[in-house]
Amino acid sequence: MGVEVSVEGLTKSFGSQKIWEDVTFTLPEGEVSALLGPSGTGKSVFLKSLIGLLRPERGKIIIDGTDILQCTAKELYEIRKLFGVLFQDGALFGSMDLYDNVAFPLREHTRKSESEIRDIVMEKLELTGLTGAEGKLPGEISGGMRKRAGLARALVLDPEIILVDEPDSGLDPVRTTYLAQLLIDINAQIDATILIVTHNINLARTVPDNLGMLYRKNLVMFGPREVLLTSEEPSVRQFLRGSKLGPIGMSEEKDDAQMRQEQAHAEAGHNDGSPGEDEVKGVPPQMQPTPGSPQRQGELRREKRVAEMLVTLPPEAQEAIRAEWAARGHGNGRSTAAATRDSAPADPTPTASATTAAEPATTPAHAATPGGASPSGLDDHYGSDQN
């Protein structure tokens, strides 16, 4: 089962450049979460911090009960074994065929025999739809296949936390949906905690249990998906609509004059290409595991967890949550929700801490990376700094 990842008061700077500060939230065990944010807001820096490649100057990152900012190098090595990381480009060794790429972490970090390794590699290749392609070199296959091979490699050491960096980059929308389905199916099968960093609005709206957003050097919000998807917070609303209207500009925050001018253009009928209000309104149904998959244990735990916090959420989010439970017609959250309905005032402006739900980040760091010198091999891909 996946483990909880809890981040408390985390602050990271490079020299005098503050990336984000006082970030606090929890990735709940076995749930799927997505972290959004405009380019340059420090999402990748956050992922690197979770796996111990970057060192925030303040705060805690508690993984399976251990604060990785305080622990020894040996403890960090052990914690990194809990992670599987899917990098944007798959991060495969160009000179190795897919079989050897996927087998790499097993050969590097376990004492398994070649026949045991073969069973595991072939199982993961089948899971990711790559049976028959094991003899191909990364340069001979498509970007989507490379992503799936990267995922197969991230899974061979049975990660409890899976981190996915922009799963849609370089993929067409259809392949992005297949990859998202694979992540949900894997979550159903192994109950790993999953954190996805993405810009893809459709993926953010339909795949995760929880959403968070980084902006203005802060975690603007983090909580159940329904909270962000119904939020009127200007940056969240703008981002989830992919609209020009709002505080987020091309390279930095807009000033009031620019916002007023764009608003006037919109009111005068200018079409800026943003999706229509109806296309992105409300909370779409969440992606479910492929029929025949096990029930997602994370979903069951989430239902109970969200039921307990339901009355603290904004009314629109409560309504969306109840509607989804009613549509699915299952789970103990449904009855708990009914029991607590209208029994307490909602907080109309939830903050990250108010809506915080514990969520995890996963990926066996070493499993996902080709390098062998570092405990996980992650350093070789991302580069490690001790800033």
Ligand X SMILES: Nc1ncnc2c1ncn2[C@@H]1O[C@H](COP(=O)(O)OP(=O)(O)OP(=O)(O)O)[C@@H](O)[C@H]1O
Point out which residues bind ligand X (CB under 6 A).
14, 19, 37, 39-45, 385
**Phi, psi at residue 36, to the nearest 5°?**
-110, 175
Closest contact distance (angstroms) between CB of 38 and ligand X is 7
CA dihedral 42, 48, 53, 58 (to 10 degrees): 50
Closest contact distance (angstroms) between CB of 15 and ligand X is 7
Closest contact distance (angstroms) between CB of 42 and ligand X is 4
Using DSSP's 3-state secondary structure scheme, residue 18 falls into strand
Query: Which residue, 199 or 265, has its beta carbon nearer to ligand X?
Result: 199
Query: Which residue, 83 or 239, has its beta carbon nearer to ligand X?
Result: 239
In single-letter form, the type of residue at position 290 comes to T
Which residue of the chain is nearest ligand X when measured via CB?
39
Query: Which residue, 42 or 331, has its beta carbon nearer to ligand X?
Result: 42
Query: Which residue, 90 or 331, has its beta carbon nearer to ligand X?
Result: 90
Query: Which residue, 27 or 53, has its beta carbon nearer to ligand X?
Result: 53
- Rounded distance between C-alpha atoms, residue 256 and residue 247, angstroms: 8
Contact criterion met (CB below 8 Å) for 265 and 272: yes
Closest contact distance (angstroms) between CB of 218 and ligand X is 13
- Rounded distance between C-alpha atoms, residue 160 and residue 154, angstroms: 11
Closest contact distance (angstroms) between CB of 199 and ligand X is 6
DSSP letter at 354 equals: T
Q: Which residue has the tokens 């909602």?
A: 346
- Rounded distance between C-alpha atoms, residue 345 and residue 62, angstroms: 32
Element (H, E) at 204: helix 201-206
Residue 135, Cβ density class (10 Å: 0-12 exposed, 13-18 middle, ≥19 buried):
exposed
Query: Which residue, 45 or 130, has its beta carbon nearer to ligand X?
Result: 45
∠194-325-33 over CA atoms, to 5°?
A: 15
Closest contact distance (angstroms) between CB of 53 and ligand X is 9
∠202-363-195 over CA atoms, to 5°?
A: 30
Query: Which residue, 169 or 351, has its beta carbon nearer to ligand X?
Result: 169
Closest contact distance (angstroms) between CB of 14 and ligand X is 4
Strand order in the sheet with 66-67: 17-27, 5-14, 58-63, 66-67
Query: Which residue, 37 or 298, has its beta carbon nearer to ligand X?
Result: 37
Closest contact distance (angstroms) between CB of 160 and ligand X is 24
Query: Which residue, 19 or 357, has its beta carbon nearer to ligand X?
Result: 19
What is the rounded radius of gyration, in angstroms, for the C-alpha atoms of the chain? Answer: 21
In single-letter form, the type of residue at position 220 comes to V
Q: Any residues with CB less than 8 A from the CB of 342 and at least 6 apart, and which?
A: none
Closest contact distance (angstroms) between CB of 48 and ligand X is 8
